Amino acid sequence: MYETIIEKIKEKLANRNLKVVIIPHISPDGDAAGSCSALWQVLDRVGIQAQLMTCDYIPDYLKWLKRIPDAISFQNRPKECKQWLHKADILFMLDHNTVAREGDLEPFVKEFEGEVIMIDHHPDPDKVTYQISDTSVSSTCELLYNVIAKVWGKEIIDTDIANAIYTGISTDTGGLSHNSSHPETYRVIADLLALGLNKDYVHEQLYQRNTLSRLRLTGNCLLNKLTVDEHFPVATIPITFQELELYNYKDGDLEGLVNIPLSIENVLVSVQITERKDKVKLSFRSKGNIPVNLWAKEFFNGGGHLNAAGGQMPLPLDDVVKKVRETAEWFFKQLKMEN
């Protein structure tokens, strides 16, 4: 499908004197960090100089991924980020469809004069020089695997690279529970295993590393915060900034929580509404073919995938909770009209 574009990228990257910048989306998750880690390692192996930069920070729970600790952040090293953007020939946009998801880096990336290669799986991508965008894949990492295999040959993938690619496939599918019904995803995983993937190690890093405070935060949310709407099949978990502080919250501590209410019978949509310092962040998850990205886009300045979307609001937490409740009617009416 992308043969021509990949052929062009291959020709381009045959030049080992290139300088490359890699950028994930704001609040990087496993797919964003995994794809950045894998790509940077491959570029290292072929001798292309690259730098990973983020508009904020990669959470600690993903720091075990090779090369991730070497990323620079625009928050504390803006000058270096700008210098790299100035001197780079190629910019890789990974796991996001628009520069608007690059936070404070956005204005500087907009001025970037080199060529942009996007590898992503979100709908409605920005136009860039080389676009490899496919909403049918499980994750950016799955797509990146195919690009790596075609450009450099899959033998370039070693254990650390395979671990990074598998991280994105696993986290973006909730541990292969959703968005993972294409045989191709499992062919990629089979290849990764043959190339040295240490699946047990990756699972341990991603899913077996609780802290007492994280478990208590989860417990509090499920016991005291989770409610199910009376009229619509929607579960919500509102979380205050004060609660995050009380439980010594660290990035990643709420990872996976929003999926839990979907296991309740009759709940079709789960919404986590988290108060941050300067905004309220929303996470939407759904079962079946319920397009929560539509809800996030229409009312909460967001977007995403059919079953996993997000957004944000510059309003107090209570107002956002109210807005979710009030707009549920609109959302379910839309679904009825479509069916």
Site for ligand 5GP, rule CB under 6 A: 29, 122, 283, 302-305, 308-312
Compare residues 51 and 97 and give the one whose CB is closer to Mn ion: 97
Compare residues 94 and 116 and give the one whose CB is closer to Mn ion: 94
Query: Which does residue 13 touch among Mn ion, ligand 5GP, none (CB within 5 to 8 A, set by kind)?
Result: none
Compare residues 67 and 305 and give the one whose CB is closer to ligand 5GP: 305
Compare residues 83 and 289 and give the one whose CB is closer to ligand 5GP: 289
Which spans of this chain sit near Mn ion (rule: CB under 5 A)? 31, 95, 139-140, 172
Query: Taking the complex as a whole, how short is the minimal distance between the CB of residue 226 and ligand 5GP, in angstroms?
Result: 16
Query: Which does residue 214 touch among ligand 5GP, Mn ion, none (CB within 5 to 8 A, set by kind)?
Result: none
Query: Which does residue 120 touch among Mn ion, ligand 5GP, none (CB within 5 to 8 A, set by kind)?
Result: none
Query: Which does residue 283 touch among Mn ion, ligand 5GP, none (CB within 5 to 8 A, set by kind)?
Result: ligand 5GP
Query: Which does residue 311 touch among ligand 5GP, Mn ion, none (CB within 5 to 8 A, set by kind)?
Result: ligand 5GP
Query: Taking the complex as a whole, how short is the minimal distance between the CB of residue 34 and ligand 5GP, in angstroms?
Result: 13
Residue nearest to ligand 5GP (CB): 310
Query: Taking the complex as a whole, how short is the minimal distance between the CB of residue 154 and ligand 5GP, in angstroms?
Result: 26
Compare residues 205 and 312 and give the one whose CB is closer to ligand 5GP: 312
Compare residues 33 and 257 and give the one whose CB is closer to Mn ion: 33
Query: Which does residue 308 touch among Mn ion, ligand 5GP, none (CB within 5 to 8 A, set by kind)?
Result: ligand 5GP
If one counts every other C-beta atom within 10 angstroms of the C-beta of residue 177, the result is 9
